[in-house]
Amino acid sequence: MCRLQLTYINSLIIRISYDLVFFLRTLTMTTCETLLPYIQWNESMEMGFAELDTQHQLLVRLFNLLVKANCELKDNELTLEQLQLFISHCRMHFAVEESLMRVVGYEDFKEHQLHHQLLIRQILQLQANIEEQLEEPEEQNPEELMAMNSQQLLFLQRWLVKHMINDDPEMMPYFQKAKLRMKYNNADWLEDLWQLD
């Protein structure tokens, strides 16, 4: 073989190597990003009650940070930290929502509350899985862990979007019938008060 042919073969090998690396990166990205895209907030998710809409937007932002920690950064410690933040905000949001349902006499309260409880159990299972992964990191493949976590995150994503679009708006007629109003202060929503007119 002449020098020119060897140079050409070497350049082909390098190009194929780069293509293979790009393909594998794309495959990994596609697996996570296609399987688990970020939730894009849109009007269909608004129920028309400012406090709950604000909390829903925060849950979406927290969920997206959780996806980023798992898919892009592949960092189980950060994923766990984001998951714990997501859990605490879910619990707070569910408590607020359930309190409002009680106040207005929402007839499907028990079923709605059960949905909340089931989601919390699912999130806690994901938390336990990640904690287990952190205890034995050398025994596990990071790509497999990301894929496993992504499956559970996909369930959470679908549940969250479905719940905001289909389940939560069913409360609005009860809020309207009870003439439930809220003094809303963007500066600090934790100090907002609900009141019946």
Model confidence over 6-61: pLDDT tens digits?
555 655 565 565 455 445 544 555 456 566 778 999 888 999 888 899 999 999 99
Give CA angle at 107 (166, 178), nearest 5°: 90
CA-wise closest residue to 197 among 175, 171, 170, 173: 175
CA-wise closest residue to 42 among 52, 57, 31, 27: 57
The SS3 call for residue 194 is strand
The SS3 call for residue 78 is helix
Model confidence over 100-126: pLDDT tens digits?
999 999 999 999 999 999 999 999 998
Domains and CATH numbers, the chain: 36-196 (1.20.120.50)
DSSP run (H or E) holding 161: helix 142-162
